[in-house]
Amino acid sequence: MDRRDVLKMIAAATGMALVGGDLWAAGLKSADAGKALFNQADIAFMDEIAETILPKTTTPGAKDAACGAMMAVMVADCYELKYQTVFFDGLKTIKALAKQQFDKDFMQLTAAQKHELLSALDQQAKQAIANPLPHYFTLIKQLTLMVFFTSKVGATEVLRYVAIPGRYDGNLPYKKGDRGWAT
């Protein structure tokens, strides 16, 4: 191998590294890209809805897991446009229902009023099974549960979690009131 071949190989490798790096970097999204569809008020609103669905008791609630921010990322990055539309329309509907029923913004409602409103929507969603698209409250509730129980707070402080579970034992004794397993 002579010096010219070595220089050609170095030039090709360097050129590929520069071009390849630029092409790779162009495909990356920033961590906040999913939040572009939502502003801070929307995230706080989703936090309130999630906290009403999973309130803080002796265990952490949905706000402790910052569910609203992750819900924003999931809707923006993972939902198809038709489901995003159902989700956004649902948020608008919840705001409108709060105004209509209680003459207040949802954020100003008491915990009991929020619970009453969302419980009625939950009943309505259970009856709306014939539609090709899910009811907006079904989407919101499912997303809240998924985000919360896959968060660190939900998996470690609400569910039982063993970082290294060891061997599989499918016949564990269960006592009424035991927490579910995250692992």
Look at residue 164 and tell me if it is in a domain: no
> Please, which pLDDT band fits residue 37 given cuts at 50, 70 and 90?
confident
Contact 53, 62 (CB under 8 A): yes
Q: Which residue has the higher pLDDT, 9 or 71?
A: 71
Q: Is residue 125 domain-shared with residue 93, that is, in the same domain? A: yes
> Please, which pLDDT band fits residue 58 given cuts at 50, 70 and 90?
very high
User: In this predicted model, what pLDDT tens digit does every residue of 84-94 receive, in sequence order?
Assistant: 999 999 999 99
Q: Is residue 147 domain-shared with residue 71, that is, in the same domain? A: yes
> Please, which pLDDT band fits residue 24 given cuts at 50, 70 and 90?
very low
> Please, which pLDDT band fits residue 13 given cuts at 50, 70 and 90?
low
Look at residue 170 and tell me if it is in a domain: no
Q: Report the C-alpha gap between 41 and 153 in whole angstroms.
A: 23
Look at residue 167 and tell me if it is in a domain: no
> Please, which pLDDT band fits residue 135 given cuts at 50, 70 and 90?
very high
Half-sphere exposure of 67 (CA within 13 A, CB side): 30
Q: Is residue 23 domain-shared with residue 51, that is, in the same domain? A: no
Look at residue 96 and tell me if it is in a domain: yes
Three-class DSSP category at 173: coil
Strand partners for 130? none
Q: Is residue 98 domain-shared with residue 62, that is, in the same domain? A: yes
Look at residue 48 and tell me if it is in a domain: yes
Contact 139, 74 (CB under 8 A): no
Contact 65, 151 (CB under 8 A): yes
Say how many domains are in the chain. 2
Q: Is residue 46 domain-shared with residue 79, that is, in the same domain? A: yes
Q: Is residue 134 domain-shared with residue 50, that is, in the same domain? A: yes
Q: Which domain covers residue 23, as residue numbers?
A: 1-29
> Please, which pLDDT band fits residue 15 given cuts at 50, 70 and 90?
low
Q: Is residue 9 domain-shared with residue 53, that is, in the same domain? A: no
Q: Which residue has the higher pLDDT, 18 or 123?
A: 123
Look at residue 177 and tell me if it is in a domain: no
Phi-psi region of 117 (alpha: psi -120 to 50; beta: other; left: phi over 0): alpha
Highest mean pLDDT among 4-8, 14-18, 129-133, 135-139: 135-139
Q: What is the mean pLDDT of residues 141-150?
A: 95
Contact 122, 145 (CB under 8 A): no
